[in-house]
Amino acid sequence: MAIMTVFIAYLLFREDYYSVISLIILVVIISTFHARQMKNIFLKQHKKGMKYYESRFNREVSLSIDSHLNTTSIAGSNKFNLTEITSIVETQDHFFIKLKIEAIIIPKSKTEDFQSTRNELIKLAEAVRTEFVSDLNWKW
């Protein structure tokens, strides 16, 4: 874009107004289609990435905490080091265990006893020396 601006300025200096107008129209057309094309590319990549996680939604997941954070689901099992936990957040409806590269979301409505889950997560936050944030008024 900067090169085109310099070229337009050069053509204005030479007083070649027909070329300037043609070039401005061309830049507007290219910019419009480029933005639309980039949007389509990003949407395709996002949809392609979501297919990987599609099988994980609305499935039961088992979470256990020992020397690691272990999750087991239909998609397989994962093992995270406790040092990867950056924070634990409680909202009105969910618990979020934020890791360095992803997060584990625990819906309160799906836990058997969310108060004991809350107490365990507070103990976990203290054990790994990270913050436990209770933000019950947070909304999407």
Residues 91 and 36 in one domain: no
- What is the three-class DSSP state of 84? helix
Does 82 fall in a domain? yes
Q: What burial letters (b/e) apply to 1-24, b meaning 16+ CB within 10 Å?
A: eeeeeeebeebeeeeeeeebeeee
What's the domain count of the chain? 2
User: What pLDDT does residue 130 have?
Assistant: 92
How many other β-carbons are positioned within 10 Å of the β-carbon of residue 27?
15
Give, for 5, the enclosing helix (H) or strand (E).
helix 2-13
Residues 66 and 49 in one domain: no
Beta strands in 1-140 (DSSP E): 62-65, 68-73, 76-81, 85-90, 94-99, 103-107, 131-134
User: What pLDDT does residue 91 have?
Assistant: 92
User: What pLDDT does residue 85 have?
Assistant: 92
Residues 72 and 124 in one domain: yes
Does 106 fall in a domain? yes
pTM of the model: 0.60
Q: With a cut of 70, list the residues of the chain below it in pLDDT.
A: 1, 55-56, 140
Domain extent, residue 89, equals: 62-134
